[in-house]
Amino acid sequence: MAGTLHHLIPADTPQRLGEQLARAGAGFGASALARSAGADFDTLPLMARGQRLADALAEHLPTNFAQAAPLLVASMGQPMGLDAKGEPVAAGDVPSGFFYLPHSLFIAQHGLNHLDLAIQAQHALTQRFTAEFSLRPFLQAHPQATLAHLGRWAQDPNAHVRRAASEATRPRLPWAARLSDFVRDPSPCLPLLEALRDDPSAYVRRSVANHLNDIGKDHPERLLGIAVRWLDPAPAARVALVRHALRSLVKQTHPQALALLGHGQLSALQVQSSQVEPQRPRIGGSVRLRVVLHNPSHELATALVDWRVHYTKADGRSSPKVFKGSTVRVPPGAQQVLEKTWSLRQMSTRTHHPGIHAVEVLINGQAHDVGAFELLTPDWPR
């Protein structure tokens, strides 16, 4: 994935970064950093660009981290803002937040023996990019002291800083090394989540939900216990947070998770008809499912409806994948049409293989067969 994102650190980044550091009084010219980045810099993928610049920073900044960190912070541009909904807004003075990837790598690699200074630098960093990755080595090397700092971050007036307290401690943060101690026992992080569960920013609350979802992958009963407690009683924003946190368990049709969201009972809804088109799509195309639900009862029928595709693997076995649908409300005696389209393009997260793919609709966790399609290779004879 990272190899396709090299444009997030443009070819002129070494010069631009050198100019920022020179203005901050680093004592070397912008061209020095550009030379250290190398003539082949614009041929490198994203992470390699970040590491090359982190190495260049180490070459030119003072070897004493206590002297280097303040210079690095002083060179940083404007912090990100937040829109009316509490979502992040780029400052616009750098090409992208990844401009600060070298800063993140430098702090993580050279600041471990200077915890307080490194935390201060990451407090500035996370307002411009993110410190969720650079904080993880500190959580591994100095867990209690780093958690104490993050406890204060959870009370910070800046939403980017508050979010980092939750995001950096996620045990299964995507694209990052797992925090094995927190995978085994998430207890040390729970006070942070408690402090942030009713945060005014949806950006922060979404991180809390994702953190809880991580916990549920290893400790489903722990997550369910938290959900029960947080929902009794709960404002609407917290209900939405818990719903998002339970999404993986809901996809697994976990009965207690469904019940907590009001979908534990069998639904009166029936699948009246279904249609899969085309029946024999090709890899690279798409397939569409149309389902007609009917409510034969004399009462309003409310249900959570998701979709499940049994993808054929390279060895011929099938692997189910659940796609989130929506909550439907069908009046007595009425029908509702639902449609879903899936892309069959090859992706970094899913490789498609030819074969029969069964499709199901899940109504309050109950599976209903609604058809299948035979996936063909792009060069299958017409």
CATH number of the structural domain spanning residue 7: 1.25.40.290
93 φ, ψ to 5°? Answer: -95, 0
Whether 382 maps to a domain, the answer reads no
Whether 381 maps to a domain, the answer reads no
Confidence at residue 87, expressed as pLDDT on a 0 to 100 scale? 84
Indicate if 107 and 192 belong to the same structural domain. yes
Q: CA 289, 295, 300, 304: dihedral to nearest 10 degrees?
A: -30
Give the closest residue to 17 by CA, choosing from 41, 44, 1: 41
Other C-beta atoms lying within 10 Å of the C-beta of residue 252: 16
Confidence at residue 4, expressed as pLDDT on a 0 to 100 scale? 64
Whether 380 maps to a domain, the answer reads no
Indicate if 285 and 352 belong to the same structural domain. yes
CA distance 67 to 85: 38
Number of domains in the chain: 2
Q: Which one-letter amino acid corresponds to residue 130?
A: T
Indicate if 214 and 294 belong to the same structural domain. no
- Among 260, 283, 300, the domain boundary falls at 260
Whether 42 maps to a domain, the answer reads yes
CA distance 375 to 281: 5
Whether 85 maps to a domain, the answer reads yes
Indicate if 211 and 277 belong to the same structural domain. no
Indicate if 283 and 190 belong to the same structural domain. no
Indicate if 141 and 205 belong to the same structural domain. yes
Whether 236 maps to a domain, the answer reads yes
Indicate if 177 and 121 belong to the same structural domain. yes
Whether 78 maps to a domain, the answer reads yes
* pTM of the full structure: 0.87
Indicate if 319 and 178 belong to the same structural domain. no
Indicate if 144 and 48 belong to the same structural domain. yes
CA distance 253 to 370: 18
Number of H helices, E strands in the chain: 16, 9
Confidence at residue 201, expressed as pLDDT on a 0 to 100 scale? 94
Confidence at residue 6, expressed as pLDDT on a 0 to 100 scale? 87
Residue 186 neighbours by CB under 8 Å, 6+ apart? 171, 215, 218, 219, 222
Whether 282 maps to a domain, the answer reads yes
What is the CATH classification number for the domain harbouring 357?
2.60.40.10
β partners of residue 321: 309
Indicate if 137 and 60 belong to the same structural domain. yes
Residue 347 neighbours by CB under 8 Å, 6+ apart? none
Give Rg (Cα) of the chain: 25
Q: Do residues 319 and 290 touch, judged by C-beta distance below 8 A? A: no
Indicate if 243 and 295 belong to the same structural domain. no
Give pLDDT tens digits along the chain (382 positions).
444 688 999 999 999 999 999 999 999 888 999 999 999 999 999 999 999 999 999 999 999 999 999 999 999 999 998 888 778 888 889 999 999 999 999 999 999 999 999 999 999 999 999 999 999 999 999 999 999 999 999 999 999 999 999 999 999 999 899 999 999 999 999 999 999 999 999 999 999 999 999 999 999 999 999 999 999 999 999 999 999 999 999 999 999 999 999 998 999 999 999 999 999 999 999 999 999 999 999 999 999 999 999 999 999 999 999 999 999 999 999 999 999 999 999 998 899 999 999 999 999 999 999 999 999 998 877 5
CA distance 87 to 326: 23
- Among 202, 236, 260, the domain boundary falls at 260
Looking at residue 85, the DSSP 8-state letter turns out to be: T
H or E stretch covering 168? none
Confidence at residue 92, expressed as pLDDT on a 0 to 100 scale? 85
Confidence at residue 3, expressed as pLDDT on a 0 to 100 scale? 45
271 φ, ψ to 5°? Answer: -85, 110
Indicate if 310 and 244 belong to the same structural domain. no
What domain range is 297 assigned to?
Answer: 270-375
- Among 211, 234, 260, the domain boundary falls at 260
Confidence at residue 382, expressed as pLDDT on a 0 to 100 scale? 59
